[in-house]
Amino acid sequence: MTSSTIFNKHVVIVGGGAGGLELATRLGRAYARKGLQVTLVDEDPTHIWKPLLHEVASGSLDPGIDELNYRAQARSARFKFQIGRLENIDRTKKILFLAPVTGIDGEVVLPIRTLSYDYLVLAVGSQTHDFGIEGVREHCAFLDNRYQAERFHHHLLEAWLRASSEAEGHLRIAIVGAGATGVELSAEIFHAAKELGAYGLSKLNRSQLEVNLIEAGPRILGALPERLSSAAHVELEKLGVKVKTNTQVAAVTQDHLLTQNNEEIKAELKVWAAGIKAPDFLRELDGLEVNARNQLVVNPDLRCTLDPTIFAIGDCAACLMPDGKSLVPPRAQAAHQMASFVFKQFKKVLENEPLPAYEYKDYGSMVSLSNYSTVGSLMGNLSKGSMMIEGKVARIVYVSLYRLHQIAIYGFFKTALIAFVARINRVIRPRLKLH
């Protein structure tokens, strides 16, 4: 392929999550010198790997240290970055519209802008689904992004201080949704309680901390094999987590949750981690086909059904599994695989050749119970067999998933340096973010 083949072509990738950032990085490094312009758009200036947001919420991870700056990455990987939120697109003119960017005082820093594109990749991820339940939006915390996780962390510290100042203080926390986020956060909270006590920020003992993990289904971690779900359930109860399965929340107030069985669960802090959907604005994007969860319906090659110049990857894509019945699950590994697929097939895209079908491979799922335990399964296609792992081996695999994401972005050498610095920080920095 000559540079003239792709000269003046512009690829715009909206969403700097696991899939979008990896794709922009790989396309920029591979094609920028051949004339292809790659632009990444995100409404935030920095990136945090979404599966780690529960650690930001508990304070186990300091986002100021682990964040990636998009502009710095753009310079390194030879793509361009535009900050802004996608507002709409004009598919006929191949233009997308970015909403105004406001400053901390509410003034407009950047006005409405437009970007033209030859190819558009939508990788805007997902957000928590409140299912329209009364009081959820008003009284529950969400962990969809770094700012929500940091906000919860501040509320958590304040609640600990408040409860510690009382003679018989109690801190009650309710987490709705026992998927990976809910389970991992409930374990991280007990780890945080231990560390805060060591630093003198909390005088609460374990009996004064009440964490309720509430799940509408019959068991926690429904995506994992039942044996691992049961093992995680036992570990959580050993920590002190009160696991409530087959429990549906009907309403939320300022100080409690009301279940459909009229049970009141008191809680000063409430986190909603039950179910996801794609962002609502996708329903308004110039008539692109979406499903009931706002996901963009795509063909097997990940192109949107109504426009072959627009791709959707990650959580916002409704891509059928080979069986034609279920959808590719909204996981970080799926976003990574989709980004890799689009990158590997991009030469064919530029040369207007037909693309093969994307095929999802389930390499398993890992769930970390903070420093206490890790459980998971490898080769998750259960019909073909899978290997269940727990303990230290599972912990190593869990950490390696993040390192693989970093290698895709930084390369092996920089990732090795980052891992080395992280070990140094474990010695010289507090074990928990204390502010």
Residue among 112, 67, 82, 91 nearest 14 (CA)? 82
On whether residue 434 sits in a domain, the answer given is no
Q: Enumerate the H helices of 68-179 as residue ranges.
A: 70-77, 136-139, 146-164
* DSSP sequence for 374-432: EEEEES--GGG--EEEEHHHHHHHHHHHHHHHHHHHH-HHHHHHHHHHHHHHHHHS-SS
Same domain, 138 and 263: yes
Domain that holds residue 191: 130-274
Same domain, 342 and 236: no
Average pLDDT over residues 305-330: 93
Record the tokens describing residue 358, joined without a space.
């994307």
pLDDT of residue 99 exceeding 80:
yes
Same domain, 95 and 21: yes
Dmax (CA) for the chain in angstroms is: 75
Which residue do the tokens 């962002």 mark? 279
On whether residue 177 sits in a domain, the answer given is yes
Same domain, 270 and 137: yes
Predicted TM-score (pTM) of the model is 0.91
Same domain, 92 and 16: yes
On whether residue 398 sits in a domain, the answer given is no
Q: What is the CATH number of the domain that holds 7?
A: 3.50.50.60
pLDDT in tens, 135-162: 999 999 999 999 999 999 999 999 988 8
* Neighbouring C-beta atoms of residue 382, cutoff 10 Å: 11
On whether residue 328 sits in a domain, the answer given is yes
pLDDT classification of 383: cutoffs 50, 70, 90: very low
Same domain, 283 and 269: no
Same domain, 116 and 96: yes
Q: What is the CATH number of the domain that holds 141?
A: 3.50.50.100
Q: Are 177 and 275 in contact (CB under 8 A)?
A: yes
Sign of the Cα torsion 42, 43, 44, 50 reads negative
pLDDT classification of 388: cutoffs 50, 70, 90: low
On whether residue 404 sits in a domain, the answer given is no
pLDDT in tens, 393-431: 666 666 778 888 999 999 999 999 999 998 898 888 887
Domain stops at, among 293, 319, 350:
350
The total number of residues written for the chain in this structure: 435
* Neighbouring C-beta atoms of residue 197, cutoff 10 Å: 16
Which residue do the tokens 């632009």 mark? 39
Domain stops at, among 242, 274, 306:
274
Same domain, 10 and 71: yes
On whether residue 421 sits in a domain, the answer given is no
Domain stops at, among 312, 333, 350:
350
Q: How many domains does the chain contain in total?
A: 2
